[in-house]
Amino acid sequence: MEVVWRESPSLALANGHGLYHHLPGVITAKTDYLFAMARKSSLWPLTFGLACCAIEMIGAYMAEHDLDRFGVVTWPSPRQSDVMIIAGTAVKKMAEPIKLLWEQMPLPKWAIAMGACATDGGPFQRSYSTVQGADQIIPIDVYVPGCPPRPQALLYGIIKLQEKIMAEASNRKAAV
């Protein structure tokens, strides 16, 4: 029997990361890899913005940039969310609520720091009232630079997060 191998962009991406072809129409994969594919294609960010960067984040959800096509759907509850986007200035008063919401999110979960303020305090460097970077509150996976970053920059950050999720699944060793 001749084995026909038709490469699609998604399979090309998957090839070498735990997805194996045996026969036409037949593939096998590690469950870690399949779960990661599902997770990276259905990221639900908790919807809250802290300052001006939030407007750019909202813009990324609108029709022109359309984050829905990446499976990214905003969600107003930490219980079902798996991504926290810190969009804006985190003042010290907000640190505790951010931490509480983060702890209410189930595992696995990821965080994006959007903008200079969330990255390292930005224009509010050494301010008495501002947290000098969201990583002082929760662990951050992706930093999106800019003041403010455009929606395209957030889109790029989300693509980087998707790549990280797949890389983590590829690197995970089988449990013994």
Binding residues (CB under 6 A) for ligand SF4: these are: 51-53, 88-89, 115-117, 122-123, 147-148
Q: Over the Cα atoms of the chain, what is R_g?
A: 19
The neighbour count for residue 50, using CB atoms within 10 Å, is 21
- Closest alpha carbon to 52 in 84, 86, 87, 83: 87
Q: Which is nearer to ligand SF4, 92 or 172 (CB)?
A: 92
Q: Which is nearer to ligand SF4, 36 or 116 (CB)?
A: 116
Q: Minimum CB separation from ligand SF4 for residue 84, in Å?
A: 16
Report d(CA 105, CA 102) in Å as an integer: 5
| Backbone dihedral region for residue 26 (phi beyond 0: left; psi -120 to 50: alpha; all else: beta) | beta
Secondary structure (3-state) at 85: strand
Q: Minimum CB separation from ligand SF4 for residue 1, in Å?
A: 58
Q: Minimum CB separation from ligand SF4 for residue 98, in Å?
A: 14
Q: Which is nearer to ligand SF4, 59 or 71 (CB)?
A: 59
Q: Minimum CB separation from ligand SF4 for residue 10, in Å?
A: 34
Q: Which is nearer to ligand SF4, 52 or 73 (CB)?
A: 52
Residue type, 63: A
What does the block give as tokens for 49?
Answer: 């913005």
